[in-house]
Amino acid sequence: MRSDAARLSLFLLMAPFALWIGLLIVLPQIGIGYVSLREKVGPGEYTFGLGNYLDFLGEPIYWNTLLRTAWMSILVTILALLIGFPIAYYIAKIARARSKAALFLLCLVPLWVSDLVRAFGWIVLLRETGLVSGLLQGTGLIGEPVELLYNDVTVVIGLVYTVVLFMIVPLVSTLDGMDDAMLEAGYNLGGSRFTVFRRIILPYAMPGIVAGCIITFMLAAGSYLTPILLGGKNSSWFTEQIYSQFITRYNWEAGATFGVLLLGFTSLVVWLGLKLTGQSLATTVAKE
Amino acid sequence: MTRTFTTLLAGTALGLVASAASADTLRLLTWGSYAPDKVIEMFEAENPDIDVEVTFSNNEEMIAKLRATGGSGYDLAQPSHDRIFSAQQEYNIYKPLDLSQIDTSVMAGNLLDGVKANTTIDGEVYAVPHQWGTSGIMANMKEAPDVTGWNDLCDPKYQGRTSMRLRRTILLGTAFGMGMNPFELYGDKDAYQDMLDQVTEKLIACKANIKTYWTGGDDLQGLMMSGEVVVSETWDSTAFKIYNENPDIVFVPPETGALAWIDTFAIPRGGENDDAAYKWINFVLRPEIVTLMSNSTGAIAAVPNGIELLPDDKRAAVAAAFDEDDLANLKFFANIPAGLEDMEGLALERIKAAQ
């Protein structure tokens, strides 16, 4: 009897989660995979095959954009790590208990504002008639208004700003668990700051670093609004092409193919990253 | 296990059905400004048993939404006239109109005939006109007084000071600017591809001249009002709005003819409340409502004296932009044959990706 009740309560607890995963993630993915294998031969006529994937390979614009998106997302991830690590270290190890919570809250505040508003914030700052350009003119550093918007640098800045928090949170929670005695031991044994960082802090923080990198990379590669609003006339982003296949060209087959390719490709990049750093998902993201 | 799961599913389905619209709701799928609150209030006051629910969208999303549901979920949609024939042929998302329920006598004859001709499939008419407007060029007359047409967007004189929307309209406009007529090439895919290749080349060469591609009316308004852009491709309605705030900025119908679109009324195949849809169609074409509507949309109603029924400020803007010759020279979008949009899409992506 007791085990039956326990099983039922476990089932009831898990049911919403299972439904969520099943209905909103697994089923749509299967559907997308199915559509991607459907080839259009005429109005309303379809056959099955790999034609959509071959089309992707045959058109350099598409895979160039995918590679570009991946490369820029990796760049964003690296920058987010470089910027996020000192902040996370300060919050976890140096700040006092009371300011710790306040600092953490300050990091969270930007998340209360939607992506769209944050992107418009950057537009207000960086456009030719914007604040930064005006300020630079006011101080006499430049004579003419300068356009800071609509280029790849702006997209990277905007993306780093959007994702850096997702780097900081796992880093803080990992570094929080590190015993200060380990650092003292390192110094006592004659280690320099750099050695202590390289031999003690870095290995300890590795699970947090990997988890943060995976999340930020996936978020950057899958982002849509920021690259579109801040990007220039030359900056294509892969999610934008997925949107245009689905919506402006009614080509669901190609859109689904692109979706599958994006998922596959980003997963591959994450897998490669794990291999290169000698980590595995079990030791990082799923760590107890 | 399975029983519980089925029950759960059934419960969810029941919940979804219960929240779906009841028969006396009019679910409208239309453009941003095509259902002003005032008009909805007046309609609901006159038809107390009908609730109006509005979803704002654009041509492409309207078709994508209706395609996803097989034409259900909405009772009335308002795509442009050139986007009905192939969408209907391919996805079967609309149902034929019952013209006896619509007072077509209030519509401008030439527009009605044009839309009917464009949207008749197997003898059935699928759409009637509502509002029309044009795409062309907008220029700040203080900075760029000599602008006459599509080619000025690529004039090095305005280096870094021009903008366009990277959609099919600019392909067509540029083709006209280069002396070709894309609509005449619709029947011949090879010739059309050849034209697209020339247009693509020209627009890639033009990229350095352009500040950025605009994506929506508000975006464009910001660029023009701030003076960051002095010449741009535009919808006339956006240009008219800006003219009211800064009379230096006017709509310039290109010398090759402004491209004209007509937004229509079409009833989705799965529409559940046709009566309310017909009531709405007849309601919004009444003269007093036409003025309210045009005030909100900036577009011209498809009634015989549509321009006179515009609010004063909009009429002044139209008068500043069009003379009789310009109106006679309008180029109405022709039906897009299936398959052409793929070719155009690839051309647009080539332009966007070029460095």
CATH of the domain at A267: 1.10.3720.10
Same domain membership, residue A73 and residue A37: no
Give the dihedral of Cα atoms B151, B157, B158, B164; nearest 10 deg.
Answer: 20
Is the CB of residue A39 less than 8 Å away from at least one CB of chain B?
Answer: no
Same domain membership, residue B229 and residue B143: yes
Q: Compute the distance between CA of residue A166 and CA of residue B144 in angstroms, rounded to an integer.
A: 47
Same domain membership, residue B265 and residue B252: no
Q: H-type helices in chain A, by residue range?
A: 2-19, 27-36, 51-58, 60-89, 97-108, 115-126, 131-138, 152-176, 180-188, 193-196, 202-221, 225-230, 238-243, 252-277
Q: Compute the distance between CA of residue B208 and CA of residue B248 in angstroms, rounded to an integer.
A: 26
Same domain membership, residue B345 and residue B268: no
Is the CB of residue A61 less than 8 Å away from at least one CB of chain B?
Answer: yes
Q: How far is CA B160 from CA A80, A150, B23, B209, in A?
A: 32, 12, 54, 5
* Residues making up chain A, counted from first to last: 288
Same domain membership, residue B138 and residue B126: no
Average per-residue pLDDT for chain B:
88
Query: Count of domains in chain A?
Result: 2
Same domain membership, residue B343 and residue B198: yes
**pLDDT-derived band of residue A148, with 50, 70 and 90 as boundaries?**
confident
Same domain membership, residue A175 and residue A79: yes
Q: What are phi and psi of B272, to 5 degrees?
A: -105, -10
Would you call B193 exposed, middle or buried from its count of C-beta atoms within 10 A (0-12, 13-18, 19+)?
Answer: middle
Q: Compute the distance between CA of residue A106 and CA of residue B2 in angstroms, rounded to an integer.
A: 47
Same domain membership, residue B214 and residue B348: yes
> What CATH number did the domain enclosing B57 receive?
3.40.190.10
Same domain membership, residue B47 and residue B119: yes
Q: Compute the distance between CA of residue B76 and CA of residue B208 in angstroms, rounded to an integer.
A: 43
Same domain membership, residue A66 and residue A12: no
In B, minimum Cα distance to A148 occurs at: B211
Interface of A with B in 114-173 (CB under 8 A): 127-129, 147, 149-150
CB burial of B120-150 (b: ≥16 within 10 Å; e: otherwise) equals eeeeebbbbbbbbbbbbbbbbeebbeebebb
Same domain membership, residue B345 and residue B203: yes
Residue B26: is its pLDDT beyond 70? yes
Do A233 and B207 make contact, defined as CB atoms within 8 angstroms? Answer: yes
Sign of CA dihedral B73, B75, B78, B80: positive
Do A233 and B210 make contact, defined as CB atoms within 8 angstroms? Answer: yes
Q: H-type helices in B178-232, by residue range?
A: 189-205, 217-225
> A233 to chain B nearest CA, in Å?
5
Same domain membership, residue A270 and residue A174: yes
Q: Domain of A31? A: 1-48
Question: Which of the pair, A249 or A61, is modelled with greater confidence?
Answer: A61
Q: B353: Cβ–Cβ under 8 A, 6 or more apart, which residues?
A: A61, A64, A65, A234, A236
Q: Residue B320 has what pLDDT?
A: 87
Same domain membership, residue A6 and residue A71: no
Tokens of A193: 């700051």
Same domain membership, residue A215 and residue A80: yes
Type of residue found at A118:
R
Q: Domain of B119? A: 25-132+261-323
**Average pLDDT over every residue of B153-170:** 93
Same domain membership, residue B348 and residue B222: yes
Residue B9: is its pLDDT beyond 80? no
Same domain membership, residue B278 and residue B188: no
CB burial of B284-322 (b: ≥16 within 10 Å; e: otherwise) equals bbeeebbbbbbbbbbbbbbbeebbebbeeebbebbeebb
Same domain membership, residue A29 and residue A56: no
Do B353 and A61 make contact, defined as CB atoms within 8 angstroms? Answer: yes
Q: Residue B353 has what pLDDT?
A: 85
This model's pTM is above 0.95: no
Q: What are phi and psi of A47, to 5 degrees?
A: -130, 175
Q: Residue A179 has what pLDDT?
A: 86
Q: Compute the distance between CA of residue A98 and CA of residue A245 in angstroms, rounded to an integer.
A: 51
Q: What are phi and psi of A221, to 5 degrees?
A: -65, -30
Q: Tell me the ipTM for this assembly.
A: 0.77
Query: Count of domains in chain B?
Result: 2
Same domain membership, residue A168 and residue A25: no
Q: Compute the distance between CA of residue B271 and CA of residue B143 in angstroms, rounded to an integer.
A: 50
* Residues making up chain B, counted from first to last: 355
Pairing of strands B25-30, A45-48: unpaired
Type of residue found at A149:
L
Same domain membership, residue A147 and residue A15: no
In B, minimum Cα distance to A248 occurs at: B60
Q: Residue B19 has what pLDDT?
A: 46
Same domain membership, residue B190 and residue B158: yes
**pLDDT-derived band of residue A9, with 50, 70 and 90 as boundaries?**
confident
Same domain membership, residue B162 and residue B195: yes
Same domain membership, residue A260 and residue A232: yes
Domain-embedded: residue B3: no
